[in-house]
Amino acid sequence: MKLSVGDITKAEVDVIVNAANGMGPMGGGVALAIKRAGGKEIEEEAIEVCKKLDPRPGDVYVTSAGALKAKYIFHAVTMKRPAEPSSVEIVRKCLHSLLEKAREMKIKSMALPALATGVGGVPKKDVAKVYKEVLENVEDIEITVMDVSGEFIKYLEEELKKTS
Protein backbone atom coordinates (compact mmCIF):
# COMPACT_ATOMS: atom_id res chain seq x y z
CA MET A 1 0.00 0.00 0.00
CA LYS A 2 1.31 3.39 -1.03
CA LEU A 3 0.31 6.66 0.61
CA SER A 4 0.14 9.89 -1.35
CA VAL A 5 -0.85 13.47 -0.63
CA GLY A 6 -2.56 14.67 -3.78
CA ASP A 7 -5.58 14.90 -6.05
CA ILE A 8 -7.15 11.47 -6.60
CA THR A 9 -8.65 12.61 -9.91
CA LYS A 10 -5.13 12.81 -11.36
CA ALA A 11 -4.17 9.27 -10.29
CA GLU A 12 -2.82 7.07 -13.09
CA VAL A 13 -4.40 3.79 -12.00
CA ASP A 14 -6.89 1.25 -13.35
CA VAL A 15 -9.52 2.30 -10.80
CA ILE A 16 -10.31 5.45 -8.85
CA VAL A 17 -12.54 4.80 -5.85
CA ASN A 18 -15.36 7.22 -5.11
CA ALA A 19 -17.01 7.58 -1.71
CA ALA A 20 -20.60 7.25 -2.90
CA ASN A 21 -24.20 7.19 -1.85
CA GLY A 22 -26.51 4.45 -3.11
CA MET A 23 -28.53 6.75 -5.34
CA GLY A 24 -25.86 8.12 -7.70
CA PRO A 25 -25.72 11.92 -7.26
CA MET A 26 -22.14 13.16 -6.90
CA GLY A 27 -22.65 16.43 -5.04
CA GLY A 28 -19.81 16.79 -2.55
CA GLY A 29 -16.31 15.83 -1.47
CA VAL A 30 -14.38 13.32 -3.57
CA ALA A 31 -17.51 12.55 -5.62
CA LEU A 32 -17.87 16.17 -6.73
CA ALA A 33 -14.15 16.38 -7.55
CA ILE A 34 -14.44 13.22 -9.70
CA LYS A 35 -17.52 14.61 -11.49
CA ARG A 36 -15.82 17.96 -12.16
CA ALA A 37 -12.62 16.36 -13.48
CA GLY A 38 -14.14 13.37 -15.30
CA GLY A 39 -17.40 14.83 -16.57
CA LYS A 40 -21.06 14.74 -15.59
CA GLU A 41 -21.55 11.55 -17.61
CA ILE A 42 -19.99 9.67 -14.66
CA GLU A 43 -22.80 10.93 -12.41
CA GLU A 44 -25.46 10.21 -15.05
CA GLU A 45 -24.16 6.65 -15.39
CA ALA A 46 -24.01 6.27 -11.58
CA ILE A 47 -27.66 7.31 -11.25
CA GLU A 48 -28.71 4.78 -13.91
CA VAL A 49 -26.68 1.98 -12.30
CA CYS A 50 -28.20 2.78 -8.89
CA LYS A 51 -31.73 2.63 -10.33
CA LYS A 52 -30.97 -0.88 -11.63
CA LEU A 53 -28.92 -2.31 -8.76
CA ASP A 54 -30.23 -0.41 -5.71
CA PRO A 55 -26.85 -0.68 -3.92
CA ARG A 56 -26.73 -0.70 -0.11
CA PRO A 57 -24.06 0.70 2.22
CA GLY A 58 -20.99 -1.53 1.95
CA ASP A 59 -21.65 -2.39 -1.71
CA VAL A 60 -19.55 -1.31 -4.69
CA TYR A 61 -20.79 -0.49 -8.18
CA VAL A 62 -18.80 0.35 -11.30
CA THR A 63 -19.01 3.11 -13.91
CA SER A 64 -16.75 4.38 -16.65
CA ALA A 65 -14.18 7.03 -15.72
CA GLY A 66 -15.16 9.70 -18.23
CA ALA A 67 -12.23 11.99 -19.04
CA LEU A 68 -10.05 10.64 -16.20
CA LYS A 69 -6.96 8.50 -16.88
CA ALA A 70 -8.42 5.57 -14.92
CA LYS A 71 -10.35 2.81 -16.69
CA TYR A 72 -13.17 2.71 -14.14
CA ILE A 73 -14.67 4.41 -11.13
CA PHE A 74 -15.54 2.02 -8.31
CA HIS A 75 -18.26 3.68 -6.24
CA ALA A 76 -17.99 2.48 -2.62
CA VAL A 77 -21.40 3.04 -1.05
CA THR A 78 -20.73 4.59 2.35
CA MET A 79 -24.33 5.84 2.78
CA LYS A 80 -27.69 5.07 1.16
CA ARG A 81 -28.82 8.67 0.65
CA PRO A 82 -26.69 11.77 0.10
CA ALA A 83 -25.30 13.34 3.30
CA GLU A 84 -26.29 10.49 5.63
CA PRO A 85 -23.85 9.52 8.39
CA SER A 86 -21.69 6.46 7.76
CA SER A 87 -19.79 4.12 10.13
CA VAL A 88 -16.53 2.24 10.56
CA GLU A 89 -18.37 -1.04 9.87
CA ILE A 90 -19.68 0.28 6.55
CA VAL A 91 -16.14 1.39 5.61
CA ARG A 92 -14.80 -2.09 6.48
CA LYS A 93 -17.48 -3.73 4.30
CA CYS A 94 -16.72 -1.28 1.46
CA LEU A 95 -13.01 -2.16 1.56
CA HIS A 96 -13.76 -5.89 1.35
CA SER A 97 -16.25 -5.26 -1.49
CA LEU A 98 -13.66 -3.14 -3.33
CA LEU A 99 -11.04 -5.90 -3.13
CA GLU A 100 -13.57 -8.52 -4.26
CA LYS A 101 -14.69 -6.41 -7.26
CA ALA A 102 -11.08 -5.56 -8.20
CA ARG A 103 -10.08 -9.23 -8.17
CA GLU A 104 -13.19 -10.22 -10.13
CA MET A 105 -12.32 -7.62 -12.82
CA LYS A 106 -8.56 -8.39 -12.70
CA ILE A 107 -7.69 -4.84 -11.64
CA LYS A 108 -3.99 -4.24 -11.01
CA SER A 109 -4.02 -0.74 -9.45
CA MET A 110 -6.48 1.30 -7.45
CA ALA A 111 -6.49 4.74 -5.78
CA LEU A 112 -8.64 5.20 -2.66
CA PRO A 113 -9.69 8.31 -0.77
CA ALA A 114 -10.37 8.37 2.97
CA LEU A 115 -13.83 6.80 2.72
CA ALA A 116 -16.65 8.28 4.85
CA THR A 117 -14.41 10.83 6.60
CA GLY A 118 -16.00 13.91 5.02
CA VAL A 119 -19.77 14.00 4.56
CA GLY A 120 -20.01 10.54 6.20
CA GLY A 121 -18.61 11.94 9.44
CA VAL A 122 -16.46 8.97 10.51
CA PRO A 123 -13.30 10.04 12.40
CA LYS A 124 -10.17 9.80 10.24
CA LYS A 125 -8.25 7.96 12.99
CA ASP A 126 -10.91 5.23 13.07
CA VAL A 127 -10.92 4.86 9.28
CA ALA A 128 -7.10 4.70 9.27
CA LYS A 129 -7.24 1.70 11.65
CA VAL A 130 -9.65 -0.13 9.33
CA TYR A 131 -7.52 0.66 6.26
CA LYS A 132 -4.50 -0.86 8.00
CA GLU A 133 -6.48 -3.91 9.11
CA VAL A 134 -7.98 -4.65 5.67
CA LEU A 135 -5.42 -3.33 3.18
CA GLU A 136 -1.96 -3.65 4.77
CA ASN A 137 -1.22 -7.14 3.46
CA VAL A 138 -2.86 -6.90 0.02
CA GLU A 139 -0.20 -7.87 -2.51
CA ASP A 140 -2.10 -8.66 -5.72
CA ILE A 141 -3.44 -5.11 -6.22
CA GLU A 142 -1.31 -1.96 -6.12
CA ILE A 143 -3.26 0.25 -3.73
CA THR A 144 -2.55 3.96 -3.36
CA VAL A 145 -4.37 5.80 -0.59
CA MET A 146 -4.70 9.46 -1.54
CA ASP A 147 -5.70 12.50 0.48
CA VAL A 148 -5.56 16.06 -0.78
CA SER A 149 -4.92 17.61 2.67
CA GLY A 150 -2.49 14.97 3.94
CA GLU A 151 -4.23 14.68 7.33
CA PHE A 152 -5.59 11.17 6.70
CA ILE A 153 -2.17 10.07 5.38
CA LYS A 154 -0.58 11.10 8.72
CA TYR A 155 -3.11 9.03 10.67
CA LEU A 156 -2.56 6.05 8.38
CA GLU A 157 1.24 6.36 8.67
CA GLU A 158 0.87 6.31 12.48
CA GLU A 159 -1.28 3.17 12.29
CA LEU A 160 1.12 1.40 9.93
CA LYS A 161 4.04 2.04 12.34
CA LYS A 162 2.21 0.12 15.08
CA THR A 163 2.81 -3.62 15.20
CA SER A 164 -0.26 -5.80 15.12
| DSSP three-state, residue 18 | strand
Pairing of strands 2-5, 72-79: unpaired
pTM attached to this predicted model: 0.96
Q: Give percent of the chain with pLDDT exceeding 70.
A: 99
Q: What mean pLDDT, rounded, does the chain reach?
A: 96
Structural domain spans, the chain: 2-161
Q: Give domain 2-161's CATH architecture.
A: 3-Layer(aba) Sandwich (3.40)
pLDDT band at 131 (very low <50, low <70, confident <90, very high): very high
